[in-house]
Structure 1
Amino acid sequence: MPKRISTARGREFGEGMRAAITNAGLTAREAADVLSWQEAKVSDVVTGRGGVTRLEVALLLGACRTKADERDHLLELFPDRDSSGWWQLHGKCAPVRPRTALTHLAVAETLISWHTHAVPVLLRTVDYMREVLTASATVPADEVDERLCVLREMQELLGNGLDCTFYLHEVALDVQIGGPDVHIGQLQHLMFKANWKKVRVLIVPAAAGAHAGMAGPFTRLTFPKYEPLVWTATENSSLFVETKEAVDGYADVIRALDEVSLSEDESRDLIIRRCVRLQEGEGAVDES
C-alpha cells in the first residue's frame, strides 16, 4: 500500500484539532451542532481540506474553548500545513517538551540515530542527562527536573516495538560526563540497551578517521503510513527534513556509517572493556 502524502505540520495540525474537540468533551457531530454546521464541515476543518478558511478553524477552536497558546499554535500551522520540511525556531533554548518529535516517535516504525561525540539522547541515563542539562548555557536550572521527566517519557517509547539502531562514535565512550559513577553507569546502561531485542548499538571506531557522519547528529524515522523524515536538533532550533532527495541523502550517510561501524558484538565488547577498565580504576586507555 502506498504511503499517505502528508507533512509533519499537517499531522500536528490535524492531531491538535482532534484533541481540541475531544478535550472539549464533544464529538464531531456535537461540535458541528454548536456551530450550526454539517458534520462533514468539521471533518474538513480537522483535516485541513481545500475550501476551509482560517476563520472557520478559529470558530471551531473557539467553540471548543481551546486554550490561547494551543489556539495560536494551530492557527499558525494552518496556512502552511501542506508545506514539506519544518524548521522550528525555539528562541533561547529548545522547549521543555519537544511536541513534534514526541508525536512522531510515538507512531514511528523504525528509528536510526547517529551522534558524533555523545551518547544519543534516547540512550542516556538520567544522571548523564542531568549533567548535560546542568552544563547547558541556555537551559534554566528550574527546568532541569521537568526536562528529565520528558526524557524518560521519550525513552519509554522504545518499549513500544520501535525498531532502533543507534550509531555513536567511540569518543562518546571516553568523554566523562559527571563523575566516575555516572560514567560507569552510562556505559552499563548502553550494555543493557544493546541486549534489547529491537535495539542495536553500533560504534564508529576512532580508527575509522574521517567518516560520512561528521556533519552532525540526526535521527531518521520511518512510519507505517507516512513517508520517512529526518529530525535534527541544535541549541535553539529543530529541523524536520521531509523532501525525498534530502531524506535519501541521510540514508546514504547511514549506509556509509554502517560500513565503518563495528558489528553489534564488537561494539558490545568494546563498551564492556571500557566499563571494566573504568571500574578497575584505570580509566580509558588505548585499545590497540
Structure 2
Amino acid sequence: MPKRFSSVVGRSFGDGVRDAIRSTGLTQRQIAELLDWEEAKLSDLVNGKGGVTEVELAMLLGLCRVPAEDARYLLALFRESREKGFLVFPEDGIPDQVRSLIDQERLANKITIWSMNVIPGPLQIPDYIRALIERSVRAKTVNAEEVVAAKTARQGIFHYSRDFIFYVHEQALRLPVGSPKVMQDQLLHLLAMGNRNYITMRVVPSSFGAHAGLSGSFRLLNYEKYEPVVFTETENTSLFVEDKASLTTYVDVLKLLDGQALDAEQSKELITSILA
C-alpha cells in the first residue's frame, strides 16, 4: 500500500483538533452528527488530511468552545497544512524542545540521527545536558532544570518497536563537556545503550578527514504510514523538511556516512579506547 501524504504541520493540526474534541467529552461520531458531517470527514481532519473548508473548521472550533487564542493558532496551522515543510520558532528558545518533534518521533518506526559536534540529544545524560546549557548562548534565559527534564523525558521514545541508528563523529565523543566524570558517565551510557538490539551506534572517525555530513547535524524520521521527514535545528528555529528533492539529498548523505563510519563493533571499541 502506498504511503499517504500527511504533512508534519497537518498532523500537528490534527492533534490540536483531536484535543479540542476530547475536551468536550463527546465522541467523534457525536461531534460529526452535530455538525451534520460524515464521521469519515472528521476522521480525515484529525488525521491531518484536511477535507474541510476554513468556515467548517471555524464551526467545529466554535462547537468545541476552543479559546480564541488556541482557535487562531489552529486556523493558522490549517492554512499551512498542505505545505511540505514546517518552520518552527519555539517560545522557550530551545529548538530541541518542540512539541511537534516529540509527536513525530512517537509516530516514527525508524529514527536515524547524524550528530557532528555533540552526543545525540536522545542519548545525553542529565549532567551532560546541564553542561551544554551552561556554555550555551541561552544559559541566562532558560530554566536549565526544565530543559533537562524535557530532554530526559524525550528519551521515552526508546522502545523495541522502533529502530534507531546513530551516526556520531569522533570529535563529539572527545569534546570535553562538563567534568571528566561527566564525560566518563556519558560514554559509558553510550556503550550501555548501544547494547540494545534496536539501537545501532556508528562512529565517523576523525582519521577519515572530510566526510559527507559536514553541512550539519539532522535526523531522519521514517514512518510506516507516512512519507519520511527530516528535522534540522539552529539556535532560534527548527525545520521539518518534507519535499522529495531535499529528502533525497539527506538520504544520500546517510548512505555516504554508512560507508565512511566504523561498524557497530568497531565503534564500541573506539568508545572503549577513549574511556581507557
Fold match (TM-score > 0.5): yes
1:38 correspondence with 2:40: no
Identify the residue that residue 18 of structure 2 maps to in structure 1.
18
Equivalent position amino acid for 1:255 in 2: K
Against the structure 1 CA distance between its residues 236 and 92, is the aligned structure 2 distance closer, same or farther, given a 3 Å change threshold?
farther
Identify the residue that residue 213 of structure 2 maps to in structure 1.
213
Number of matched residues?
274
Identify the residue that residue 62 of structure 2 maps to in structure 1.
62
Equivalent position amino acid for 1:263 in 2: D
Report the 3-state secondary structure (helix = DSSP H, G, I; strand = E; otherwise coil) of the residue aligned with 2:143: helix
Equivalent position amino acid for 1:154 in 2: R
Equivalent position amino acid for 2:10 in 1: G
Against the structure 1 CA distance between its residues 252 and 90, is the aligned structure 2 distance closer, same or farther, given a 3 Å change threshold?
same
Contact 2:95-2:238 within 8 A present in 1 as well: no
List gaps (5 residues or longer) in structure 1. 277-288
Q: Comparing 74-83 with 133-142, which one deviates more in the overlay?
A: 133-142
Equivalent position amino acid for 2:198 in 1: K
Summarize deviations over 1:66-89 as a string: whole Å, max 9, x none: 344432321111112111111223
* TM-score normalised over the length of structure 2: 0.91
- Give distance in 1, aligned partners of 2:249 and 2:272: 33
Identify the residue that residue 28 of structure 1 maps to in structure 2.
28
- Give distance in 2, aligned partners of 1:152 and 1:66: 31
CA drift of 1:43 comes to 4.4
Report the 3-state secondary structure (helix = DSSP H, G, I; strand = E; otherwise coil) of the residue aligned with 1:122: helix
Identify the residue that residue 118 of structure 1 maps to in structure 2.
118
1:145 correspondence with 2:140: no
- Give distance in 1, aligned partners of 2:96 and 2:71: 19
**Residue pairs, 1:62-141, within 5 angstroms:** 62-90=62-90, 93-94=93-94, 97-138=97-138, 140=140
Identify the residue that residue 185 of structure 1 maps to in structure 2.
185
Identify the residue that residue 253 of structure 1 maps to in structure 2.
253
Computing the radius of gyration from Cα coordinates, the structure with the larger value is 1
- Give distance in 2, aligned partners of 1:45 and 1:113: 31
Report the 3-state secondary structure (helix = DSSP H, G, I; strand = E; otherwise coil) of the residue aligned with 1:114: strand
CA drift of 1:145 comes to 1.7
Contact 2:10-2:50 within 8 A present in 1 as well: no
Equivalent position amino acid for 1:19 in 2: D
List gaps (5 residues or longer) in structure 2. none
Contact 2:229-2:247 within 8 A present in 1 as well: yes
Summarize deviations over 1:108-165 as a string: whole Å, max 9, x none: 0111101111101011111101111222222555522222222122111112522011
Contact 2:9-2:86 within 8 A present in 1 as well: yes
1:163 correspondence with 2:163: yes
Overall identity of the aligned pairs, in %: 37
* TM-score normalised over the length of structure 1: 0.88
* C-alpha RMSD of the superposition: 2.1
- Give distance in 2, aligned partners of 1:173 and 1:142: 26
Against the structure 1 CA distance between its residues 3 and 45, is the aligned structure 2 distance closer, same or farther, given a 3 Å change threshold?
closer
Report the 3-state secondary structure (helix = DSSP H, G, I; strand = E; otherwise coil) of the residue aligned with 2:158: helix
